[in-house]
Structure 1
Amino acid sequence: MTYTIGLMHPGSMGSAIGAQLRARGHLVLWCPDGRSETTRRRAERAGLEAEALPELVSRSDVLLSLCPPSAAEETAAQVADLGAGDAGTIYVEANAVSPSRVQHIADRLAPMPVIDAAVVGSPPVGGKYPTLYLSGPGEQADRIVELFTGTDVRPHVLGDSIGKASALKLAYSSYQKVSRVLAAVAYGAADTYGVADELLEIAAKRTRSYLVETDYIPKTAARAWRWGPELEDAAALLADAGLPDSLVRAAAETLTRWDGNRDERLDITEALGALRVEGDLHNLS
């Protein structure tokens, strides 16, 4: 079965996904109003068909929102303001936004069904295969899986609850992107003191991500009383080197939540419970 997809808006990820859908015989529309010449050229290379927004919305079986996170709600509002009430059209919210924002978008667009989605990985070009995580109503999620069958985008359904895909995306981003920033300031500090090569030699000895070492979370809690002051000094080092120190100071402050667990043997659930404070949990039902 072929579909008509309204793509909002074709950045590097969106245009690459649009090209994948075009290669499978689907019609992919985009709206050029207010877009840059770079975006226009990107859309043309991907074989997308230009259309005014009202016609794009009315013609589409699937509306795929891939835009900067700050524009996600505005984009959904534009669709809602056009009177998009066709329950047969599926709105795929695929931006890196919080579960609460996805729910707000779903409420704004009702009765149009909304699928919470998250792309993890690089754009599907040059042999790259990003995963498209999906959560939301099962029938509509299955249609999105069908849409991407045979493309280099690998759909993966997480369940019927809106919020799971966006939570997964942001949980991963919180580590992956912040660790990149920390790597930059750590390297900058080492470079300032002439030990950058030695830092890289130490780092090269690790072969996998700290994120997979969940068994170390309780150990971190038990050692927080020692690690906190060490990070305060690390923050001072960064400041002396003229580099931002706020991330490291925030990490030191976070460790203080484990101050009452000095050298204790906790399990992961207990360690995470100690890390949280009352009022931290929102909208997890």
Structure 2
Amino acid sequence: MMVAIVSPGAMGSALGRGYVEGGARVVACVAGRSERTRALADGLDLVDSLDAAVGAADIVLSVVPPGEAVAVAGAIRQSAAASGATPLVADLNAVSPATLARVGQALGGLDLVDGSISGPPPQAASGRARTRLYLSGPRAGEIAALAHSRLESRVLAGPVGTASALKMSTASVYKGLAALFLQATAAAQQAGVLDVMLDDLGPTFPAQVDGLGSWLALSASKADRYVAEMREIAATQAAAGLPPELFEAMAVVWERVARSPLGALTPEQAAGVADAAAVIRAFGLPAAGHPPGA
């Protein structure tokens, strides 16, 4: 089985290495990508172009920022047409069901599996949180059948779009909670009551409070992706008849985070940050007792 990863960032490369261990050949193109991406893609077969990757693949996995999903689907279609290939394409991106429909249109006649990833990049290190891959659509079982020792694949009943609807629901809690903690702790630090706040919240949110610094830093390192994801969630909720303003506001929060010094960190750099107060200060917020404009 030949699998192409588009593209081999932290998540894509970790997925790819697991599939290699499961017996698949995994190819990827890193032309024009950063040295970090090239390093992350270690263990995959690197080719010179997207045409070469898609043309050789039985299955193409799209793992890109949500704002790029439709354009990447169009590029995959063009690469497939250039070689006469007809790979099965799985969109594993954090997009709304409506955006996924546009992905399907951009793919032309290529078959589409809807996928959503829950959890961190699947790594070999023990103690990591579990990673699940939810899949939907008529050919979802073909993606679930790919062997991967660190990935739990689940096929959902329902058409293409079901897995994306699930992703929009789970991400609204995971990433919305991070934005909520960020706003709340920033306000508490500015007022000089951060320690008291965390002491009060600790019994209810022990995991979040105990690892607050690293959690917020890691979230900040992905903030540029979260902006588009919040807007996808807002669109999903609007389609369900719910007010979209909550997650449109979350997008504004992550936009500010993305412009902060921590927004420039890589996830690997953010993993070494532990001091919650230092993390909050790095967002450019005023010190305790010094309101904006003072």
Same fold (TM over 0.5): yes
Q: Residues 94-173 of structure 1: matches in 2 within 5 Å?
A: 94-125=92-123, 126-127=125-126, 128=128, 129-137=130-138, 140-147=139-146, 149-173=147-171
- Report the Cα distance in structure 2 between the residues aligned to 1:177 and 1:143, rounded to whole angstroms: 30
AA aligned to 2:143 is: I
- Report the Cα distance in structure 2 between the residues aligned to 1:186 and 1:192, rounded to whole angstroms: 10
AA aligned to 1:60 is: A
Corresponding position of 1:184: 182
Is the contact made by 1:86 and 1:112 (CA closer than 8 Å) also made in structure 2? no
Aligned-pair distance for 1:81? Answer: 2.0
- Report the Cα distance in structure 2 between the residues aligned to 1:28 and 1:6, rounded to whole angstroms: 6
Is the contact made by 2:94 and 2:116 (CA closer than 8 Å) also made in structure 1? yes
Q: Residues 268-283 of structure 1: matches in 2 within 5 Å?
A: 276=242
Corresponding position of 2:72: 75
- Report the Cα distance in structure 2 between the residues aligned to 1:150 and 1:181, rounded to whole angstroms: 32
Aligned-pair distance for 1:208? Answer: 8.3
Is the contact made by 2:114 and 2:135 (CA closer than 8 Å) also made in structure 1? yes
Corresponding position of 1:39: 37
Out of 60, 63, 66, the position equivalent to 2:60 is 63
Aligned-pair distance for 1:22? Answer: 1.0
Q: Structure 2: any 5+ residue segments left out of the alignment?
A: 208-240, 244-294
Indicate how the Cα distance of structure 1 residues 208 and 158 shifts in structure 2: closer, same or farther if over 3 A, else same.
farther
Paired residue secondary structure (1:162): coil
Corresponding position of 1:174: 172
Paired residue secondary structure (1:112): coil
Corresponding position of 1:196: 194
Q: Structure 1: any 5+ residue segments left out of the alignment?
A: 210-274, 278-285
Q: Residues 6-45 of structure 1: matches in 2 within 5 Å?
A: 6-44=4-42
Q: Deviations over 1:122-145 (max 9, x none)?
A: 1111233300000111xx211111
TM-score normalised to structure 1 length: 0.67
AA aligned to 1:143 is: E
AA aligned to 1:81 is: Q
- Report the Cα distance in structure 1 between the residues aligned to 2:170 and 2:200, rounded to whole angstroms: 24
Report which stretch shifted further, 149-158 or 56-65.
Answer: 149-158
AA aligned to 1:201 is: D
TM-score normalised to structure 2 length: 0.65
Is the contact made by 1:98 and 1:170 (CA closer than 8 Å) also made in structure 2? yes
Percent of aligned pairs with the same residue? 32
Is the contact made by 2:114 and 2:140 (CA closer than 8 Å) also made in structure 1? no
Paired residue secondary structure (1:49): strand
Indicate how the Cα distance of structure 1 residues 208 and 103 shifts in structure 2: closer, same or farther if over 3 A, else same.
farther
Paired residue secondary structure (1:82): helix
Aligned-pair distance for 1:34? Answer: 1.6
Q: Residues 43-54 of structure 1: matches in 2 within 5 Å?
A: 43-44=41-42, 46-54=43-51
Paired residue secondary structure (1:74): helix
Indicate how the Cα distance of structure 1 residues 86 and 158 shifts in structure 2: closer, same or farther if over 3 A, else same.
farther
Indicate how the Cα distance of structure 1 residues 151 and 130 shifts in structure 2: closer, same or farther if over 3 A, else same.
same
Q: How many residues align?
A: 206
Aligned-pair distance for 1:87? Answer: 8.3
Aligned-pair distance for 1:49? Answer: 2.8
- Report the Cα distance in structure 1 between the residues aligned to 2:58 and 2:113, rounded to whole angstroms: 13
Corresponding position of 2:248: none
Is the contact made by 1:7 and 1:14 (CA closer than 8 Å) also made in structure 2? yes
Is the contact made by 1:19 and 1:48 (CA closer than 8 Å) also made in structure 2? no
Aligned-pair distance for 1:74? Answer: 1.0
